Structure 1
Amino acid sequence: MLVIGRSQVEALLDTDTLIDALAAAMADLSAGRASAPDRVAATVPEQDGLLAAMPGYVPSVGMLMAKLVSLFPRNAGTPLPTHQAVIVVFDPRTGEPAALLDGAAITAARTAACSALSARLLARPDATVLAVLGTGVQARSHARAMCRVRPIRQIRVAGRDQAKAATLAGELAASLEAEVRAVATYAEALDGADIAAAATHAVEPVVRRSWLAPGVHVTSVGFNPAGREVDDATVAEALVCVESRQAALAPFPAGSNDLLAPIRAGVVSAGHVHAELGELVAGTRPGRSSAEQITLYKSVGVSVQDAAAAALVVGAARERGVGERITLG
């Protein structure tokens, strides 16, 4: 069995290649060619946490895998990340365990890359101003990934902790060719933004319709057991896209409070979800219809994303002789 650690995963994954691989994987999922059973989770209510299992098979890349991921929002502000994970890869011909990968690095990369894919499909081509809501791993990954698909010239970072927002802004300014600054509020970050990337554990919405400019593309990836990231008005007005209708509309914690809450309240129906990413990739559903239209990509994470990323990592590791080999049993 090949064991690939976090730093190795990060070195082996190329963002541009990953975005393209995710486009193919999402098209496979929407067309029924990939297998991605509903995520199951054991909840830890006293910590607002959960441990989820996400198996998946993507035949086009020959990847059979399962991810175990823990989501513990209370880790925010501690040395431990809120998302921790491992991925086990199996030989799709025999079922033999073939590789063990750090799943946190893959989760961070594939989540941001799929948001970037949504921006490539839905954001205006001339989008230059990015609002980053949050200050954690996903906020950092999203800022970098969005710059790969749109000509971002200005990035505004906002979070609950202004010191952390300033630190992240400094890190991004040193590595990206864009003006980056921390701002005091989510509303200030969103004012006039062309793309908004929300990656928070918010209780109250950090994306509100009254704060949004016409034509903005919003991505929301936060896990919010006690609340939500996006308000009803934004969901109601936006063209809504998801990875999978089945996954996004499943009961929480598998599905999204951001969509389930307005559906339960009668603000929108389940049919308000306009498209899956794979349908936009394949052209079977239309995307943005005007420059002023607000678009929203709500992510809950599906296993074919991890499978696409794991296929790239394992393939590159084998080519370069990276990773440690161990024998089971």
Structure 2
Amino acid sequence: MTPSCAMTSALLLDPDATAARLPYPALVAETAALLQDTSVQVPERRVQPLPGGGSLFVMPALDSRVAITKLITFTPANAGTGRPAIQGDVVVFDVATGERRLILDGPTVTARRTAAVSALAAQTLAPNRSGPLLIVGAGVQGRAHLEAFAQTLGVARVVIASRSDASAQALAQHARALGLKARVTQDADAALADCPLAVTCTPASGVVLRAAPRADGFLCAVGAFTPRMVELGPELCRHVAAQGTIVVDTGDALHEAGDLLQAGLDVAALPTLGGWLRQPSPARAGPVLFKSCGWAGWDLAAARTALRGL
């Protein structure tokens, strides 16, 4: 092996190695720290449509020490084929030297940073963190959210809903292997009445949750990231807007939060998670909806976490 090959091998982390460098408690803490860091810059991401219905995402971000670019493809047609819908890498550079420090597995970063942001939002906004946690969608994001909420909020009970019973049962078994109590439901709307915490993490090809959350409920919707995608019924969104609080991950939600846009809500007027952390608003009674659309800043937080100890 030549020295250049050895260097490349050392830099390139596979999914397991990437996950090992992104423990959820540390990733949640780093995400909160990033939202307080005034040196962070996140240019607008480029989404390039691909033939066949896929998309190429180019997502740069930087702070005073680290610069990253996330390059991933999103291919909905891969559903059911055994090929992942999200593929790609996060390339991490040292700002001062220009040196490439790491290449992280893109899908692993996406799954873990998304779940970490949801967990941070729940820590910050949830009126009742006791659980059970309802997870709608039993794929990669469902598993990531299960692990993140268990490790950072102490959730001990989960209820899982999925259009695939096999996937739901597999995730429930994984939860039990982690020492959690888990059950599968065929009716997510009915289960919502018993779950003060809920996350929807589906492909967002249609509404999966219509019932209004509990008065002390926290609902996190992560699946939809274009105006056409949707997981939550419009009446649900309008109910929370009238009776509780809606917070979005970033200002980019103005153009991407399909659930809220299709409900006819003024997304530009909604508070962001970063704004809430920097200047907490007075507590308001009623349910909380956190809408997550994705942001390269979350990938930068993951890169900063992964660099620790190197």
TM over 0.5: yes
CA distance in structure 1 between the aligned counterparts of 2:267 and 2:181, rounded to whole angstroms: 39
Q: Is the 8 A contact 1:36 1:57 kept in 2?
A: yes
Partner in structure 2 of residue 281 of structure 1: 277
Whether the aligned pair in 2 keeps the contact of 1:122 and 1:287 (CA below 8 Å) is no
Cα pair 2:224 2:259 within 8 Å, conserved: no
- Contact 1:53-1:69 within 8 A present in 2 as well: yes
Contact 1:288 / 1:295 at 8 angstroms: preserved in 2?
Answer: no
Q: Which residue of structure 1 aligns with residue 29 of structure 2?
A: 20
Matched AA of 2:238: A
- RMSD between aligned residues: 2.0
Contact conserved, 2:200 with 2:231, CA < 8 A, in 1? yes
**Counterpart amino acid of 2:300?**
A
Q: Structure 1, residues 105-154: CA drift from partner, whole Å, max 9, x if none?
A: 11111110110000001112442211000011100010111123434232
Q: What residue in structure 2 maps to residue 179 of structure 1?
A: 181
- The alignment status of 1:233 with 2:235, answered yes or no, reads yes
Map 1:112-151 onto structure 2 (within 5 A): 112-151=115-154
Q: CA deviation at 1:86?
A: 0.2
How far 1:214 moved relative to its partner? 1.9
1:159 is aligned to 2:162: yes
What residue ranges of structure 2 are gaps of 5+ in the alignment? 1-7
- The separation in 2 between residues aligned to 1:211 and 1:224, in whole angstroms, is 22
Q: Does residue 291 of structure 2 align to residue 298 of structure 1?
A: yes
Change (3 A) 1:118 1:25: same
Secondary structure of the 1:68 match is strand
Map 1:2-151; keep pairs closer than 5 Å: 2-28=11-37, 33-44=39-50, 46-47=52-53, 49-59=54-64, 62-151=65-154
Range 95-104 or range 306-315, more displaced: 95-104
Runs of 4+ residues deviating >4 angstroms = none
User: Structure 1 unaligned runs (5+)?
Assistant: 319-329
Task: Give how far 1:287 is off.
Answer: 6.1
Which deviates the most, 108-117 or 93-102? 93-102
* Counterpart position of 2:261: 260
Contact 1:52-1:69 at 8 Å conserved across structures: yes
If asked which structure has higher relative contact order (CA below 8 Å, sep 6+), I would say 1
Percent sequence identity over aligned pairs: 29
Equivalent pairs counted in the alignment come to 296
1:191 deviates by 2.8
Structure 1 residues 237, 17: CA separation in 2 closer, same or farther (over 3 Å shift)? Answer: same
- CA–CA distance in 2 between the matches of 1:46 and 1:235? 32
